[in-house]
Amino acid sequence: MKTLVSISFFLLASSMSQAHAQFTTRGQASLAAFAASSTGDETSYLLGLRYIPEGDFSMPFDNGRSLDIGMAVNLSAMNKGIFNEKSTDDWRGKAYRATLRYNTAYSETRVGLQKINFGPAQVLRAEQWFDALDPRDPLSLTPGVWGMVHRRYFRNNANFWIWGLYGNEELKGIETTPTAEEMPEWGGRLQLPALGGSSAITMHHRNLELSDGEDAKSERLVALDGRWDYGAGFWFEAVAAEIVNEGVAASSPGNRTLFTLGIDYTLGVGSGIYVLGEVMHATFGDEWLDNKAENADVLALGSSYPLGLSDQLSTWVIHSPDAKSTAWIGSWSHTRENWTIQSSLFSYPEESGTAGSSDTGINLRGKGAQLHLIYNH
């Protein structure tokens, strides 16, 4: 049998301001211990120390304009192995965020290593194209992407995004094929108010990494999404991905569609039970609307309940009828002044991992537990 234990804490440093410019420093420190369970008698573990120092420099100008520089580094030291057997050490240091931001009253332009995420879905995210965020992760860690993003905001709550990415060859978001080296990516998003809520169209284009002897291929993504609140909240995300071979649409298993439908509501029981449900339907096939296409469905259900002002219980269940597998996690968190303690029990299928597994260095499988100790200063 294997178990998992995690201890983490955050440290936020103080800030100081100057006459016109302002320099702010903060950091995120995490001490972690993991042990993940699986079938068999072996018990694996991971012990780790992480520190993410951050610094922001802001220079305000007239008419609501400002120039900001943000930097963050992810430093970690990990020891992982199997109890009573040999372990290995892993020391890493890499850029976490590095951005130059120019802001006006109705626009923002960011250049550098940054987080890009959009779409209303929370767990089964068809539009999870550039990040690895997961609401089950108490640390909310995600790698960034290198590029430029310009956002324009309008007074009717509409907004427009345009971006160009470069140097992101590793898999990101829900990608299954890496991006070609030294090839740019580009896309954009337009979000408009609609029927008391909002809806958006998003597009993205990238070239794919080639295998030996393979023709040049690219991927085109088009997405629609929307969210409305009529007592309960409703949202959807719909994505179509098409593989193009040397400029001609190709019959390829990479052609796929993803559709997510979600709802949330707070039940008037006790202090209020928040519930969230999402379902995703995915289709993979050589041809669009192919009757022989492979289909997959996933369902997610989450809930949270406050126990007074300081404590909260939350649960997540994710079920795949096709794979006949179910994953669940239940958490309790306690907050007092600058401290937060969160403990969790979980069960994951053997073939899957949790959010942030690439960041911690292991995939969490089987049954286990986590403990996070978080301090904000």
pLDDT at residue number 242: 87
The backbone torsions φ and ψ at residue 258, rounded to the nearest 5 degrees and listed phi first, read -130, 135
Token couple for 233: 């909240």
pLDDT at residue number 124: 95
Length of the chain (residues): 377
Beta bridge partners, 80, equal: 46, 88
Q: Please give the Cα distance from 251 to 98 (Å, whole number).
A: 39
Neighbours of 8 (CB within 10 A): 22
Distances (CA, A) of 328 to 132, 159, 201, 264, 353: 19, 36, 32, 18, 12
Q: Is 194 helix (H, G, I), strand (E, B) or coil?
A: strand
pLDDT at residue number 32: 63
pLDDT at residue number 291: 54
Token couple for 100: 């130059």
> What is the tally of helices (H) and strands (E) in the chain?
1, 20
Q: Is 123 helix (H, G, I), strand (E, B) or coil?
A: coil
pTM, whole model, 2 decimals?
0.84
pLDDT at residue number 358: 43
Q: Please give the Cα distance from 116 to 161 (Å, whole number).
A: 11
Domain segments of the chain as ranges: 1-99+331-377
The string of pLDDT tens digits covering residues 247-268 is 544 445 568 899 999 999 999 9
The string of pLDDT tens digits covering residues 274-305 is 999 999 999 887 555 555 568 889 999 999 99
Beta bridge partners, 255, equal: none
pLDDT at residue number 252: 52
pLDDT tens over the chain, length 377 residues? 333 333 333 333 333 334 467 777 776 666 665 656 555 566 777 777 778 888 999 999 988 899 999 999 988 888 887 777 778 888 989 999 999 999 999 999 999 999 999 999 999 999 999 998 887 777 788 899 999 999 999 999 999 999 999 999 889 988 888 899 889 999 999 999 999 999 999 999 999 987 765 667 889 999 999 999 999 999 999 999 988 775 544 445 568 899 999 999 999 999 999 999 999 999 887 555 555 568 889 999 999 999 988 999 999 999 999 888 899 999 999 998 878 888 888 888 866 544 444 454 445 667 777 777 777 76
Token couple for 5: 């234990």
pLDDT at residue number 347: 85
Q: Please give the Cα distance from 327 to 319 (Å, whole number).
A: 6
Residue 358 is given by DSSP the state: H
First to last CA, the chain: 38
Q: Please give the Cα distance from 376 to 369 (Å, whole number).
A: 23
Distances (CA, A) of 340 to 116, 151, 372, 377: 27, 34, 8, 12
